[in-house]
Chain A
């Protein structure tokens, strides 16, 4: 029973990071940009989320606004890195796949470099602790699973309806979808394709940075160079899995977090189980299997995904 409740509670809590990152990636892809650099952006976000509380308070508890400041710094840094990626793939029209790998190496390397020189070694922070909601958290099982988290988790979940609303119900969301589906048509209607794509990259990067900071502040409460550990790539895959729809992406994020939490919980509750590497593999294999049996979904994606747009070029 403990095992089940623990697994579910942690799934609800840890889904937030993957959720934020893949929502951000969805904004990128809806605008036609395949941002494989998500991993690198998350890495920098995670580093900043660690750096600010650590440099102010060390391992001891810091006031809540310092942690929020860490989250904000990570968000801003993520947006800037998104814009940097934009310079490469929008202004220079570089192939997005390989540029994304460059962005990933750059982000992870930069976070590692700064980490080594500003923090040094493995250190832990207090981070943002879970707070039980009075009253609701007393409900057996459900209370623990859903109402014992910190506000950042709920904020991340709130982003699902917000993202849905922004993408499908606002003029800007319509522009984003137009730019990702048929940039030339959008351009002929007076939408500034370059501008909208840059904006969506900034939004996506900001969310990825936030997700990275969530990992250090609320989940791991420490930082190392490999902390993201493929979550950025899984976030990209989740967008495919969720067929570019916020709600389905949300379900995918919960499913994949469940797979990850499940394997860590097995290691804790069944220590005599020796072959835990195979459990660690599980989420990664799951991504491949899901993508392989989802081939129809490629056709539902934004039509101009991964294609750069050149105004001056004849069709």
Chain B
């Protein structure tokens, strides 16, 4: 009975899923919703028709791009909570370009806008990376603070310098971006846009970066053990900053894609919490580019359910962000539980203690060994 490790993992994960479902159910009950109906709406609605399925895929795009960036920074030993702020910066920078793309051919305009989004995000990711590497400022605090600062800066930009000149009501938003900088949709009437190509390319690029290049190796080494990496001659602080800039660039690109593919103009609340959901997706995908694809799909479903919950049930859509927080808590606890040799051993003793047959087998083997000797 050597497969007790497998059984241990399976039972821990099953328990975790059950806990998540039960706590979710308790919350739904507390707000007076029907548990099975709510869960059924979350799971079944995306597969109702092509259009709703495309909605899920559309939400996958920014989630995937952000989560890829976060996986790079997390593997390098720095937690990027600031994707939300970096995304705001990406939106503003790419919007500034995209508003003036009228005479430029699409083939140049679109990469240009995405590039500017990436640069702005990377620049905004550089700040906490630099502060962490050179001044020992906790990146958890600095990125969170930069999120709030970025949100204010973004609001300022769309309220005064970039305000839509035709907007009379005073709603802070920019004009529609030039049609040359808009990502086309694949199917008429469905929201899925070309951004998914960028997401797919980034999966491959980040995979190669992390696992097939020296940069990636050094980043992972710095994240696994900072002191060992430093002893091995790796300039840890440099790779911290680089990984944070890559992370920021990804978040910036996610912002650009969201602007060019979905919203078409910069308005309030454009990031819609993708920066935080991206953290959950990255964790859920085990910080691996391939794992992030199904994770992003799952959370795409969850985020899309916000729309349906609002229309079809009395359950507030905030439930989804509660579940996301709960899932983070459960994932981090489960990771530790799975890798805990002591509770593994306890599990073995409890459920896989040696049976009479086992003892007989062992004594047979011993006898055989003695005979051969």
Contacts and interface: CB of A to CB of B under 8 A. Distances in A.
B316 A112 contact: yes
Contacts, number: 155
A106 B318 contact: no
Contacts of B283: 98
A44 B147 CA distance: 22
Contact of A237 (B135, B141, B146, B321): B141
Contacts of B332: 88, 92, 94-95, 98-99, 102
Interface string B299-322: 000000000000000111011111
A93 to B, nearest CB: 5
Contacts of B331: 102
Interface in A99-122: 99-110, 112-118
Contact of A291 (B142, B315, B342): B142
A155 to B, nearest CB: 28
Contacts of B152: 277-278, 280-281, 284
Contacts of B27: 110, 113
Contacts of A280: 152
B174 to A, nearest CB: 16
B160 interface: yes
B148 interface: yes
A274 B322 CA distance: 36
A105 B84 CA distance: 14
B32 interface: yes
B30 interface: yes
Interface in A290-314: 291-293, 295, 298, 312
Given A113-B31, A281-B149, A106 B325 contact: yes
B273 to A, nearest CB: 9
Give the interface size class of chain B. Answer: 35 or more
B136 A295 contact: yes
B242 to A, nearest CB: 20
A285 B138 CA distance: 14
A240 B138 contact: yes
A212 interface: no
B156 interface: yes
Contact of A109 (B149, B318, B340): B318
B156 to A, nearest CB: 4
A97 interface: yes
Contact of A107 (B141, B146, B316, B325): B325
Given A105-B324, A281-B152, A117 B336 contact: no
A274 B170 CA distance: 14
B335 A113 contact: no
B148 A229 contact: yes
Contacts of A237: 141, 145
Contact of A288 (B146, B153, B279): B146
A269 interface: no
Given A115-B318, A288-B142, A291-B142, 14 more contacts: A88-B333, A94-B332, A97-B140, A101-B279, A102-B329, A112-B321, A113-B316, A117-B314, A230-B148, A237-B145, A278-B156, A284-B146, A285-B149, A292-B135
24 contacts: A36-B140, A92-B332, A93-B340, A94-B329, A94-B335, A94-B336, A98-B283, A105-B280, A105-B325, A110-B27, A112-B318, A112-B322, A113-B27, A113-B31, A114-B30, A114-B31, A116-B31, A233-B141, A237-B141, A275-B156, A277-B156, A281-B149, A284-B146, A287-B145
Interface of A: 36, 40, 87-88, 92-95, 97-110, 112-118, 225, 229-230, 233-234, 236-237, 240, 274-275, 277-278, 280-281, 284-285, 287-288, 291-293, 295, 298, 312
Across the A-B interface, give the 3 residue pairs with the lowest CB-CB distance, nearest first: A102-B328, A106-B325, A105-B325
